Amino acid sequence: NNDMRFFMYNARMLKEAGIADPPLTWNELVEQSRRLMAAGTAKYGFIEGWEMGQALANAQTVFAHSFGGRLLDERGNPTLDSSECVGALQFMVDLLHKYRIVDPASLTSSQEVSQNVFLRGDTAFFPQAWPGLYRYSRNPEVSNIVEEVEVAPKPLGVTKGIGAALSLPEALAIPKTSKHPDEAWAFIQFI
């Protein structure tokens, strides 16, 4: 089982607001969200499912890495108090309280609830979308945004311009019949 998190966005909303491309940086995400909210196109820039501990930790991990931080040093010691990790956490707080582009319901919403808010068309972005959401977005029985969702790279960090993605592999294996076992092993070591 492999699980990835994707940056999904509502292309129709961006187009209606005259925004040509999805945000390349977290700062652009803030700017675009504010623009969409001011125009009444979106209620909020995005929503997260932070009620669930691992979802909040996943988001913090992505932000920390995109700010140049690491959760552990080379010896496996926690580095959550590094300036990069603290800056990333502060930015998450600012998204909610200073910029006000994150739906406050993120703090009490499950992944399913946050998914449904995005599928209703209330938010423009979904930074921690799981693969199945794309399929749901195409289903008119559960989605108000059919054919409007696209996928883009996660925004780059504010301070260092570093990108980050989240992969949650639960098991990795190289089949015995693999034609490229060395390359497969190199990929496993890379991720």
Cβ proximity of 46 and 33 under 8 Å: yes
- Taking each continuous run of H as one helix and of E as one strand, the counts in the chain are 7, 5
Tell whether domain 4-190 is in CATH 3.40.50.300: no
Distance CA 48, CA 189 (A): 30
* Percent above pLDDT 70 for the chain: 96
Distance CA 172, CA 182 (A): 14
Q: Which of 29-33, 48-52, 153-157 has the highest mean pLDDT?
A: 29-33
- Segment 73-83 mean pLDDT: 95
Q: Look up residue 121 and give its amino acid.
A: G
pLDDT digits (tens, 9 = 90+) for 155-169: 988 765 677 777 776
Cβ proximity of 142 and 119 under 8 Å: yes
Q: What is the pLDDT of residue 80?
A: 94
Q: What is the pLDDT of residue 21?
A: 98
Distance CA 95, CA 66 (A): 15
Residue 189 is encoded by which pair of tokens?
């070591």
User: CB under 8 Å to 74, separation ≥6 — which residues?
Assistant: none
pLDDT digits (tens, 9 = 90+) for 30-41: 999 999 999 999
pTM of the predicted structure, to 2 decimals: 0.84
